[in-house]
């Protein structure tokens, strides 16, 4: 479990990045998400994905297994410095927009899904605007490559070599679609390049050809997520003790009352901590009674089995049981207060965020 209180932290360890998936309707966002969060990798060797709450925790061993064909994409000889990925379960830019962590977006890295047959569409462009606006780095999945003429699938290889091995008419079809899409991105002011030809990742957004349906390119996509996290995002992903947490879902659970599922990005939470969250009628101050994580290797949705923890560290999703959570709101940050002054300070902070959120709704 990446929700690990015993995790050894060194200068080389980074926290798990929070990944979200955006793009036009029908581009394949949900299918890509399902593939990224897959519990069983064909031969079942790299299972162990824990279904979290509102987000899925993909542990390192699964990533290692799934990127074995694309290890050369990861610098430092294929070394892994992140403990896993935390993938937001729900696709779409509304989710990206609504999950806040101290005012900014919760998402560290986005996957922008583009249907290779349709190119950039209305919601692709909306998503690009939002990502640029929030300064969120992203990787482009050029999805549905299995629909190219005569496509021959091979998900065991890096998609660069799979493309090389296609018949020339399939390659021509790819080039034609690809050239058109580069122009469409240029019209949006963005430079894009195939991930294996990217001359400078600081200037060009990487595109990974994928088929979420056949699995082609999915290993390469995951390898690019790792590589980007460990290079461009490394500074941003270093551990800090400062709490960074967002309420993902509010749920009534039999025997526990109303609980909140919280994405803990940085810092730690302990039973007994005094927390402040946003509520329908203003800030709610309460105390953590129980911290629950899904039992290892269980799919939470099927079992409802939780493991009690005294303390959890980021990055993971944890269920909090506490009094007075009935009216709490999802999408807002959670704070811990240690003194009366801190309670007042964070109540104020929540008030400010609530006002901003309400105003932005009024504007829509």
Which residues are annotated as catalytic? Answer: 93
Q: Identify the helix (H) or strand (E) that includes residue 208.
A: strand 205-209
User: Cβ 170 to ligand GDP, closest distance in Å?
Assistant: 15
Closest to ligand GDP by CB, 12 vs 156, is 156
Using CB positions, name the residue nearest to ligand GDP. Answer: 28
Q: Which is nearer to ligand GDP, 117 or 253 (CB)?
A: 117
Nearest distance, CB of residue 30 and ligand GDP, angstroms: 3
Q: Is 203 exposed, middle or buried (0-12, 13-18, 19+ CB in 10 A)?
A: exposed
Q: Report the C-alpha gap between 204 and 181 in whole angstroms.
A: 14
For helices 218-230 and 29-36, give the axis angle rounded to 10 degrees. 80
Least Cβ distance, residue 242 to ligand GDP (angstroms): 34
Could you give the strand order of the β-sheet that contains 290-294, starting from the edge strand earlier in sequence?
244-253, 257-266, 316-321, 290-294, 306-309
**89: closest CA among 263, 237, 295?**
263
Minimum distance of ligand GDP from residue 96's CB (angstroms): 14
List of residues contacting ligand GDP (CB under 6 A): 23, 25-31, 91, 143-144, 146-147, 211-213
Please check whether residue 240 is in contact with residue 178, taking contact to mean a CB–CB distance below 8 angstroms.
no
**Is-cis flag, bond preceding 315, omega within 30?**
yes
């Amino acid at each position: 479990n990446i929700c690990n209180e015993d995790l050894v932290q060194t200068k080389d360890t980074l926290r798990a990045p929070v990944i979200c998936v955006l793009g036009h309707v029908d581009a394949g966002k949900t299918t890509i998400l399902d593939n990224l969060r897959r519990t069983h990798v064909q031969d079942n060797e790299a299972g162990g994905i824990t279904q979290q709450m509102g987000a899925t925790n993909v542990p390192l061993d699964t990533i290692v297994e799934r990127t074995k064909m694309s290890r050369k994409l990861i610098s430092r000889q294929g070394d892994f410095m992140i403990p896993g990925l935390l993938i937001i379960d729900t696709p779409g830019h509304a989710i990206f927009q609504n999950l806040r962590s101290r005012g900014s977006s919760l998402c560290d890295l986005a996957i922008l899904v583009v249907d290779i047959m349709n190119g950039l569409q209305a919601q692709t462009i909306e998503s690009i605007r939002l990502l640029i606006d929030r300064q969120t780095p992203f990787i482009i999945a050029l999805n549905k490559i299995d629909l190219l003429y005569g496509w021959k699938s091979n998900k065991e290889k890096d998609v660069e070599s799979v493309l090389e091995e296609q018949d020339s008419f399939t390659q021509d079809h790819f080039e034609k679609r690809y050239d058109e899409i580069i122009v469409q991105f240029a019209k949006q002011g963005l430079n894009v390049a195939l991930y294996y030809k990217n001359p400078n990742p600081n200037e060009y957004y990487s595109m990974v050809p994928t088929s979420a349906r056949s699995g082609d390119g999915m290993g390469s996509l995951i390898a690019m997520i790792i590589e980007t996290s460990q290079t461009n995002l490394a500074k941003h992903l270093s551990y800090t003790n400062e709490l960074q947490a967002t309420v993902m879902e509010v749920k009534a659970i039999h025997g526990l009352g109303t609980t909140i599922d919280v994405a803990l990005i940085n810092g730690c939470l302990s039973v007994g901590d005094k927390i402040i969250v946003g509520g329908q009628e203003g800030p709610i101050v309460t105390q953590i009674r129980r911290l629950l994580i899904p039992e290892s290797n269980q799919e939470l949705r099927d079992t409802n089995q939780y493991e009690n923890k005294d303390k959890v560290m980021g990055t993971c999703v944890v269920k909090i049981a506490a009094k007075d959570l009935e009216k709490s709101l999802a999408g807002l940050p959670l704070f811990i207060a240690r003194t009366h002054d801190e309670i007042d300070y964070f109540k104020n902070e929540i008030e400010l965020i609530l006002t901003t959120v309400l105003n932005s709704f009024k504007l829509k």
